[in-house]
Amino acid sequence: MTNDEIIKEIVERLKKVPEVKKIIVFGSRARGNYSEESDIDLLVIGDFEGRIIDRQVKLKLLLWDAPLDVGIDVFPLRENEIDVLLKKGSFFWKEAMNTGRVVYERI
Domain ranges of the chain: 3-105
* 27: exposed, middle or buried (Cβ count in 10 Å: 0-12, 13-18, 19+): buried
Query: Mean pLDDT over residues 17-27, rounded?
Result: 96
What integer pLDDT is reported at residue 3 of this predicted model?
A: 84
What integer pLDDT is reported at residue 29 of this predicted model?
A: 86
Condensed to tens digits (0 to 9), the pLDDT of residues 30-85 reads: 888 888 888 899 999 999 999 999 999 999 999 988 888 888 999 999 999 999 99
Please enumerate in sequence order all residues whose Cβ is within 8 A of that of 59, keeping only pairs 6 or more positions apart, or say none: 14, 17, 44, 74, 76
Report pTM.
Answer: 0.90
CATH topology of domain 3-105: Beta Polymerase; domain 2 (3.30.460)
- CB-based contacts of 85-91 (< 8 A; 24+ apart in sequence): none
Side-by-side strand order, sheet with 72-77: 72-77, 40-46, 20-26, 101-105
What integer pLDDT is reported at residue 94 of this predicted model?
A: 85
Judged against a pLDDT cut of 90, whether residue 99 lies above it is answered with no
Quickly state the pLDDT bin for 15 (edges 50, 70, 90).
very high
What integer pLDDT is reported at residue 96 of this predicted model?
A: 87
Helix (H, G, I), strand (E, B) or coil at 80: helix
What integer pLDDT is reported at residue 95 of this predicted model?
A: 84
What is the identity of the amino acid at 55? R
Do the strands 72-77 and 40-46 form a parallel or antiparallel pair, or are they unpaired? parallel
What integer pLDDT is reported at residue 37 of this predicted model?
A: 87
